[in-house]
Amino acid sequence: MNDAIQDEIIKEFDGLEWFDKYGLLISFAKELEPMDEEFKTEDNSISGCQSKVWIRSYNKDGKLIFDLDSDAMITKGIIALVAKVVNNRAPQEILNADLYFIDKIGLKSNLSPARSNGLESIISRIKEVAEKEASQIN
């Protein structure tokens, strides 16, 4: 996986205080396309998150596209970052990905336990989708 996107994210957050990091997360949230209401279903929701989070995926020419949304701006900003890193990647790339930017920008250490667990649930769902898609290729 091309780590340039993760390195770019790290650079954007580097040196910011947490108040400013939250502001940056909110700006990423505003850039994320809202999910159509018809896709905000129970099947697309992620349990284990403090906020409501929905994830939808599809395969486009062998690359996975994830459509993510949340009803909370901070969470939406976090999933926008995750989407930047994993979107348009082959399933195997996603399975092998080390999402190191999460630790490097201090997300896990500065999130509430509930939000941190939610982030883990989101990443787990993305990896599950990638695993399912990879098994269909092989």
Catalytic site positions = 49
Q: Which of 129, 118, 48 is nearest to 92 (CA)?
A: 129
- Find all residues with CB under 8 Å of 73, minimum gap 6, and list them: 25, 26, 29
What tokens appear for 120 in the block?
């883990």
Give me the phi and psi of 15, to 5 degrees please.
80, 0
DSSP-based three-state secondary structure for 29: helix
